Structure 1
C-alpha cells in the first residue's frame, strides 16, 4: 500500500492532541465543576442526568457544588451518560482524586500492531476509492493510493509531515483550486470542525479552524461551478474535484471505534470517499491497480 503517512508516523503520544498542549491535560477545577460544565454543554438538567445515571438530582447537586465526593464508579457512569470523550474522562477521574482509567498508547507501540494492520487492510481494500485515517486534529496518520492520486499538484510544503487533511483540502495551494463546489464543501468542513470544538476542549483544533477559515476563497471561474443543479440526484453533499481533465464526485463517510478503551484509539477516525456518480466509478476503475 502506498501511504501519504504511514500508520503511527508523526505522533508523540499516539494520536490526537498531544499531551501538554490540550486544555484537558491541565487542572481546571473540581470534578463537580467539570461535571456541571459537561452537563450544561449537553443541555441536560440535574434531574434528567440523575435519571439516566440511576442517581438522584439531590446527589448530583451535591457532587456539582462540592458537598459530596463522587465515587469512581459514579464519575465513570456520569461521564458515559454525558458522552464525555475518553481523554476528558481521565481528567474527571484525576480531579475527583482517582487514577486515570484510559491509557494513551502510541500507534507505533507493538501492542497496537493488530490495529495498524487492520487499518492498513481496510484502506488498501477500499482502493481505488480514496480513504484515510486522521486523528483528533485532522493529522493524517495513514492514507491509500486513492488519496495520493488526488494530491497531484498540491504544493510540496503542504505535503511535508505531518500532513493535515484540512490544510490539504482548503489551502489555496492545496486541493481548493480544483474543488468545483469549494464554497459548499468549505462550509461543510468548517461546520464539522465547529461541532467538534463545541464538544471537546482542544486549543489546537480551535487554532486550526481559525487558520483554515481565514484562507482566501477564489471566485469561481464559471457560474456553474457553484450551487448548480446536477444531472445526478446526489443523496449527500458531494465533493466535486477536478483531476486530469475529469470532474470526480465523492460523498464522504466517517467511522470511529465503538467503546474505545484507549485515548489514541478514541481519537482516530477513518474517512472514506464513495463515488457519487457512475462517471467517477468508471474513471477510477480505468486507472487500474
Structure 2
C-alpha cells in the first residue's frame, strides 16, 4: 500500500524493492526483462549478462560505466576471464544490483557474500527495530505498517487491525502479504472505493520493483494480483487517478464510513544489511477531516455505524 509520496527516516531515502535500487545504470531503465534470471548454480557470466540486458545496456555501455574494456567485459561474460572481487563489486554497483543479488553474484564468481541478512529482531539491528517501532507507534491514531521486499507484513501499529473487519482469516495467517490482502476478493478488495485506480497503482509499483530487482517472486505476485476481479471506478475504466488528486488515494469503505488516505514510504538510507535495504514503513495520513475524526473514534472505541 502507498501513494508515492516519499519521506526519509534519519536520512531515510529510496526503497529498493520498493523504489530504492535504482543505481547509476538503473535510473533510466525501468522496463522489465522477459528473460528468466539465471539459477544459483549458473556461472557468473550468465548472471552478469542477465543484469546487463535487464538494465538494457550494451556491453560497450556497461564497459564505459565500469571503466573497463569491452573485450574484457565480453571475456568475463563468456567465462574466458575470471573477474576479481573488486571488479564484481564495481560491476554490480554500476548495474544497480540490490544487495541480496550482489551476494548471489559474488558467490557465482567464487567469492564469499559481502552483505548480511539478519532478521529485524537480531541484536545487531536493535536500533533499526526501535526506529521502526517508534515510527509505527508514533503515527497512531493513523495506520502504519512495515513490509519486506515481497510485501509480507513485518510489523504494524494498533490501528491496522481495526481496518480489517470482514477479511477472510486465511489472508491474515502469517506470512500476511499486504498486497494480496488489499486487493483479494476475500480481503479488502470489495471495500475499496477506488479499486481500479488503486489496483493500477499497485501493479505499476510492482512493475517498478521487478525492473529494479529482477525478482521472480514479485513477478508471480504481480501476475496473481493482475488476475483478481475488480470493480471499475465510476470516473473511468482505465485506472488513471483523477487529475484533481495530488496522489493516488487509498479509499476504504468501512462499517463506520469511508476512510480516505494518502501515504508516505519510509526507508533506511544507505543500508548495508539486506533486511534493512528491503524494509519499507508505510504511513497513512487522513486525506480529509472526516477520516481524521473517524480514525480517532476507532482508536477510542467510540465509532458508530452511520
Same topology, TM > 0.5: yes
Provide the residue aligned with 2:294 in structure 1.
Answer: 283
1:264 counterpart = 2:275: yes
Unaligned runs of 5+ in 1: 1-15, 17-22
SS in 2 for 1:145: coil
- In 2, the alpha carbon distance for the partners of 1:170 and 1:63 equals 44
Provide the residue aligned with 1:35 in structure 2.
Answer: 48
User: Offset at 1:43?
Assistant: 1.6
Provide the residue aligned with 1:9 in structure 2.
Answer: none
- In 2, the alpha carbon distance for the partners of 1:36 and 1:253 equals 35
Q: How many residues align?
A: 265
1:63 counterpart = 2:83: no
- In 2, the alpha carbon distance for the partners of 1:146 and 1:82 equals 40
1:179-258 equivalences under 5 Å are 179-218=192-231, 223=234, 233-258=244-269
- In 1, the alpha carbon distance for the partners of 2:58 and 2:127 equals 42
Measured on the aligned residues, the alpha-carbon RMSD in Å equals 2.8
User: Offset at 1:177?
Assistant: 1.2
Any conservation in 2 of the 1:154–1:174 contact (CA below 8 Å)?
yes
- In 2, the alpha carbon distance for the partners of 1:224 and 1:286 equals 30
SS in 2 for 1:108: coil
For residues 283 and 94 of structure 1, do their structure 2 counterparts lie closer, same or farther at Cα, with a shift above 3 Å needed? same
For residues 60 and 229 of structure 1, do their structure 2 counterparts lie closer, same or farther at Cα, with a shift above 3 Å needed? closer
Compare 173-182 and 203-212 and name the one that shifted more.
Answer: 203-212
- In 2, the alpha carbon distance for the partners of 1:233 and 1:194 equals 25
1:1-289 equivalences under 5 Å are 26-218=39-231, 223=234, 233-287=244-298
The superposition leaves residues 240-279 of structure 1 with CA deviations (integer Å, 9 ceiling, x where unpaired) of 1112342222123333323322222222111222322333
Compare 250-259 and 172-181 and name the one that shifted more.
Answer: 250-259
- In 1, the alpha carbon distance for the partners of 2:281 and 2:37 equals 24
- In 2, the alpha carbon distance for the partners of 1:118 and 1:229 equals 33
- In 2, the alpha carbon distance for the partners of 1:268 and 1:134 equals 6
For residues 80 and 219 of structure 1, do their structure 2 counterparts lie closer, same or farther at Cα, with a shift above 3 Å needed? closer
- In 2, the alpha carbon distance for the partners of 1:185 and 1:203 equals 23
The superposition leaves residues 54-111 of structure 1 with CA deviations (integer Å, 9 ceiling, x where unpaired) of 3333332222222221110111111011110111111111111111111121223222
For residues 106 and 179 of structure 1, do their structure 2 counterparts lie closer, same or farther at Cα, with a shift above 3 Å needed? same
User: Offset at 1:234?
Assistant: 2.0
Structure 1 length normalisation: TM-score?
A: 0.81
- In 1, the alpha carbon distance for the partners of 2:40 and 2:87 equals 20
For residues 234 and 146 of structure 1, do their structure 2 counterparts lie closer, same or farther at Cα, with a shift above 3 Å needed? farther
Structure 2 length normalisation: TM-score?
A: 0.77
User: Offset at 1:153?
Assistant: 2.3
Any conservation in 2 of the 1:257–1:265 contact (CA below 8 Å)?
yes
Compare 277-286 and 171-180 and name the one that shifted more.
Answer: 277-286
